[in-house]
Amino acid sequence: MPSEVDPLLPKVEPAPEISGHGYSQTARGQFEPAEDAEDEGTPPKAGASALKSIVGLFTVVVGFALVIALLVPGGLGSVWKAPKNDRLTVRARVDKIMTETPLIDGHNDLAILIRYLYGNQIYDMNFTESFENGGLPFHVDLPRLKKGKVGGAFWSAFVGCPHNSSDFSDANYVEAVASTLSQLDLLRRLADSYPKTFSSPNINGSTALTTFADRHQLISPLALEGLHQIGNSYANLRLFHSLGARYATLTHNCHNAFADAALITNSARSTIKAPPYWEGVSQRGREIVKEMNRIGMLVDLAHVSKDTMLDVLGGRPKKWAGSAAPVMFSHSSAYGLCPHPRNVPDDVLRLVKKTNSIVMVNFSPDFISCLPSNSSTGIPDVYPPNATIHQVARHIVYIGSLIGYDHVGVGSDFDGIFSTPDGLEDVSKFPDLVAELLEMGVTDADAGKVVGANVLRVWADADKVALKMQKDGVLPAEDRMKPLV
């Protein structure tokens, strides 16, 4: 098993390009007959002599082959094996996996792109032309979603941390709450505009597979990326859930009233490893996690500090038992391969297994290919040579090998990252990632778990916990409000 700081082995050479009858060009040269030579008018006698020579040579070869077949264990089969149609076989397996199990991306930031480039104007031809026909900037549009055999995604209604992120007052979050409503509205309008493509955001883990299999729609729940977006309000949390938000990340790159983040932006506007504020989850944080469990909103631990991870996963039981429902890391990778504060260390991964939770591997080069650094920021150096599709697959295999393939998925962060791994440039490349996993020895059954079955299980389990809590009479958490003036 790789150590906590992996040396980042270089990418293996790709298999030969497949063409023709399923063989590489090299293999085809070995087994396809050469073109017939032009007849130069060989005299009959010379032709007969040549034919006798050929027949004689053929007899010798056949006789030798029969001797080999009799004397060598396994006969001819042990000496020569027909070339396997590996690439085509892998592609057929990929198609079967992605047809039977929806590929569900744990985190897609399309809404950020629409906000910044189009001002949320999705009915304008500037947007519709390229979204419908292809060519939308960055990583997502309808043709590429189709080519990538995407079965669904959690669409993030991202709103960044307030400038003064150390101020946890309600007043400091007013703009974030308003922008969150706008982004949720945007994503709902997008789904309404393309009903043949996107499901309603008001979907749950138990009905999602029916949406994919029977209606042929993308499973399309929404997500919040940091509890600064709810403005410290249980009412806002429930409102956003009613609008389709099916998970909420406890923090983004800022601490809040509920939990500590992995990263913060300092006074110099640099991103650094965050010093602790609550030493994990605050008392209010425990209460918000309980309310998320009660309403069936998945708790997302991407972006949080290790202390927060441990608290929510029950890793410090004397302090708090943690979440009653399984949780997710919607877009984080393995710390053992890339020692970044945003990634998940091995001891936390073991808690992921214990709680039947999931880590959905992020594609950002910053989080998949890095080396330890002595920088005062506490952030490792990116190692560009390994920013590849193979390295993303290595993170998946690392987690699967350590805690089992029931606990890993994919969370691309497409449209939320500026650079992408070589070979995973956009959503159309998902089949290539599945093929890479198969070529690395991942079974078809495990690949199906990775692409979507695992996150559907975690989501459905969270729904079951919510139903039980409601049946048991657990009441909604209430905001304490001041009297109206």
Residues with catalytic annotation?
107, 109, 225, 252, 303, 331, 413
- List, edge to edge, every strand of the sheet that includes 103-108: 103-108, 150-156, 222-225, 245-249, 298-300, 328-329, 358-361, 408-410
- Tell me the C-alpha distance between 177 and 234, whole Å: 12
Q: How many residues does the chain have?
A: 485
Q: Do 348 and 312 meet the contact criterion of CB atoms below 8 Å apart?
A: no
- Tell me the C-alpha distance between 37 and 88, whole Å: 32
Q: Strand pairing of 298-300 and 245-249? A: parallel
Q: Where are the extended beta strands (E) located within 367-420?
A: 370-371, 381-382, 408-410
Q: What are phi and psi of 430, to 5 degrees?
A: -55, -40
Of 322, 327, 127, 303, nearest to 228 by C-alpha is 303
Q: Strand pairing of 408-410 and 358-361? A: parallel
> 281 has which bridge partners?
259
370 burial (CB, 10 Å; 0-12 / 13-18 / 19+) is buried
Of 161, 160, 158, nearest to 110 by C-alpha is 158
- Tell me the C-alpha distance between 144 and 107, whole Å: 16
Return all residues near 269 (Cβ < 8 A) that are at least 6 apart.
none
- Tell me the C-alpha distance between 477 and 16, whole Å: 59
